[in-house]
Amino acid sequence: MKLKNANPQQVHGRFQRRLAGCAMTAALMLLPLAVPLADAREGVEVGKNSAFTKLVPAEDIERSAAQQYQQMMGQASAKNALGPRDNPQVVRLRAIATKIIPFTLEWNPRAKDWKWEVNLIGSNQINAFCMPGGKIAFYSGILEQLKLTDDEVAMVMGHEIAHALREHARERMGKNAATSIGATVLGQLFGLGQLGQTVTNYGAQLLTLQFSREDESEADLVGMELAARAGYNPQAGVSLWNKMGAASKGAPPQWLSTHPSGASRIADIERNLPKVLPLYERAKPR
């Protein structure tokens, strides 16, 4: 009855106030749900993959990596330098990889379709790598000379896997293409021509690519998180780089040649430890 006696402006004003009140109530009800979503992810923050990765097809890079990897393993086998599957260090490496790999999907959805491989090459080199597509290899030198614990192995492996997940090789190739082949070829890279005619011999590039310091620092952080989620102590990153520094003897080993200095990366690791230690505490063996 009051609405019937009210003038149109009063009715309109009441309606507007009620509508605003309903909107505010709905917003307040949704707010508790929205806030956790923004903070839902635990771990390190490194941003999105570089836009340069889109200049080179992932399938081509991964296919070339698989071919190059098989060639390398074949050469090692021919020299009796490829660790057999029952070698204790091979068993160890594959066990660690099995724990880390399930946590790779969040960083790169393509990883679910990768044909992961883990091998050991007998060599004094202090080196390890993970090619695009999940092709991992450790050289016996890095295990034996540095006497790595499982936690330290996980840090090395996580670092190398991170390069593949973050597609750093693909990014470097994309940057090389963008700076060297000109506007006409860039049109081809965007689907107007045949990429294979412009960027060739991916396998050879994979062996000679050098990652930037930013790539290496990013791989440290992502690798540390992967190791922590798999139940390996991320504090091992500090002892690992202390061992690396001691092994360098004035000249960095191959695995360190393009990496940030040990002091700076240890500081970066220590700065980010609070972000990953809770992950490790939940995942570590009881």
Exposure on the CB side of residue 260, measured as CA atoms within 13 A: 17
The rounded distance, in Å, linking the Cα atoms of 265 and 217 is 7
Told to judge if 160 belongs to the known catalytic residues of this protein, a careful annotator would answer yes
Residue 159: closest CA among 219, 100, 104: 219
**Tokens (6 digits) for 34:** 């929205």
Please report, in angstroms and rounded to a whole number, the separation of the first and last CA atoms in the chain.
71
Give me the DSSP letters along 119-150: EEE--S---EEEETTTEEEEEHHHHHTTT--H
Catalytic annotation, pick one of 62, 160, 218, 225: 160
Q: What are phi and psi of 135, to 5 degrees?
A: -100, 100
Q: Would you say the C-alpha torsion 15, 21, 24, 29 has a positive or negative sign?
A: negative
Q: How far is CA 216 from CA 5, 53, 158, 225, in A?
A: 75, 17, 12, 14
R_g of the chain computed on alpha carbons: 26
DSSP letter (8 states) at residue 239: H
Enzyme catalytic residues:
160
